[in-house]
């Protein structure tokens, strides 16, 4: 179903939701479904039909797509052919700016260089890796499907594939996390020189494994003072790292970036145009479920 936020009669960003995951992380409260070949094929077919349907209606008539954002879920669970067929359907059915940013979220364990090279050649311009942490114990406790080494390999593969715009997402306030461990995660991300780093405070969403553990009193979470320190020290660390990040990195106003949960990320570098646009009141449409 296509949804709208603050539409105006000008350019617009398109969000494409791919709901599949190999496994559900213990912090994840988003709508996801277990991957199955027949289910994925049916989803792609339905999504292509929905894009074509909206292309024949007044939905985006007269509006230019400046951004296309594949989110999830884990969009890179789909094959590169499936993802590019969706992108091509957008180009056939909507007016897409030739310089539109095409951003795709990825799990570090789900990408290899040939796959990324195919996406880059097909017009994807920005890769957002859900790193979350560089501490393997934290990653295991959160039930993520990747390791710290896989994050590093994914970054190297993305660079070789030609991605010049790379984001790393991190979470602070994970169970048992200290300020020292959090800053070590941030340093590890900075060392990889992404164009953009976003960090988010953990929120315990109802229905998640972390929520069930918290309800039983089995989750050792940092207190509010510790979370405040993590946020502030993380912000300071990114300020200090500015000169070591790529030339286009810099400090952005946090209010311009869409975050998950009540605590907004602090971001150096190039945020997704889609995220900054939605937070700043630029219209956005969403397709998929």
Residue-wise pLDDT for 93-114, tens only, equals 999 999 999 999 999 998 999 9
pLDDT tens across 172-214, in order?
A: 999 999 999 999 999 999 999 999 999 999 998 888 889 999 9
Distance CA 225, CA 22 (A): 35
Q: What is the C-alpha to C-alpha distance for residues 202 and 27, in angstroms, rounded to an integer? A: 8
d(CA 274, CA 89): 19
pLDDT score for 43: 93
Secondary structure (3-state) at 176: coil
CB 24 within 8 A of CB 107: no
**What is the domain partition of the chain in residue ranges?**
3-287
Q: What is the pTM of this model?
A: 0.82
Range with the largest mean pLDDT of 133-142, 241-250, 253-262: 133-142
Rounded to 10 degrees, what is the CA torsion of 210, 212, 214, 216?
-150
Asked if pLDDT for residue 91 goes beyond 70, the answer is: yes
User: What percent of the chain is modeled with pLDDT above 90?
Assistant: 62
Query: What is the predicted pLDDT for the residue at 265?
Result: 36
Residue 9 confidence class, pLDDT cut points 50, 70, 90: low
Measured CA to CA in angstroms, residue 241 lies from 25, 82, 96 at distances of 29, 38, 35
Q: How many residues does the chain have?
A: 289
Is the pLDDT reported for residue 82 higher than 60? yes
- Residue 28 binned pLDDT confidence (cut-offs 50, 70, 90): confident
pLDDT band for position 38 (cuts 50, 70, 90): confident
For the ranges 14-28, 49-63, 164-178, 185-199, the lowest mean pLDDT is seen at: 49-63
Confidence at residue 186, expressed as pLDDT on a 0 to 100 scale: 95
Question: At 285, is the pLDDT very low, low, confident or very high (cuts 50, 70, 90)?
Answer: low
Residue pLDDT, tens place only, 220-257:
999 999 999 999 999 999 888 875 554 333 333 332 22
Given a contact cutoff of 8 angstroms between Cβ atoms, the answer to whether 195 and 269 are in contact is yes
pLDDT tops 60 at residue 3: no
Best CATH choice for the domain 3-287 from the list 3.80.30.20, 2.30.130.60, 3.40.50.970, 3.30.360.10:
3.80.30.20
Calculate what percentage of the chain has a pLDDT beyond 70: 79
Residue pair 54/93 in contact (Cβ under 8 Å)? The answer is yes
Confidence check: pLDDT of 264 > 50: no
For the cut 70, the answer to whether the pLDDT of residue 134 exceeds it is yes
Answer whether 51's CB lies under 8 Å from 90's CB: yes
pLDDT of residue 249: 34
The answer to whether 34 touches 120, Cβ cutoff 8 Å, is no
């Amino acid at each position: 179903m296509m949804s709208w936020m603050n539409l105006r009669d000008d350019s617009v960003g398109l969000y494409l939701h791919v709901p599949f995951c190999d496994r559900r992380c213990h912090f994840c409260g988003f709508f996801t479904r277990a991957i199955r070949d027949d289910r994925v094929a049916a989803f792609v077919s339905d999504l292509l039909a929905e894009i074509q349907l909206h292309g024949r209606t007044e939905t985006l008539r007269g509006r230019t797509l400046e951004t296309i954002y594949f989110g999830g879920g884990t969009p890179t669970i789909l094959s590169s052919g499936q993802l590019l067929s969706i992108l091509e359907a957008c180009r056939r059915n909507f007016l897409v700016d030739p310089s539109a940013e095409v951003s795709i979220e990825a799990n570090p364990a789900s990408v290899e260089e040939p796959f990324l090279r195919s996406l880059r050649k097909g017009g994807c311009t920005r890769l957002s890796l859900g790193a979350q942490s560089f501490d393997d114990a934290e990653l295991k406790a959160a039930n993520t499907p990747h390791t710290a080494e896989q994050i590093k390999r994914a970054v190297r593969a993305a660079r070789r594939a030609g991605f010049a715009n790379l984001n790393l997402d991190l979470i602070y306030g994970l169970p048992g996390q200290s300020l020292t461990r959090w800053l070590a995660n941030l340093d590890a991300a900075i060392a990889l020189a992404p164009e953009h780093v976003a960090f988010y405070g953990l929120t315990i969403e109802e229905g998640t494994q972390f929520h069930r553990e918290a309800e039983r009193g089995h989750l050792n979470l940092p207190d509010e003072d510790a979370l405040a320190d993590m946020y502030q020290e993380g912000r300071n660390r990114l300020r200090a790292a500015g000169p070591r990040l790529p030339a286009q990195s810099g400090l952005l106003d946090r209010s311009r970036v869409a975050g998950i949960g009540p605590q907004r990320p602090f971001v150096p570098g190039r945020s997704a145009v889609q995220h900054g646009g939605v937070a700043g009141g630029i219209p956005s449409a969403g397709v998929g479920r």
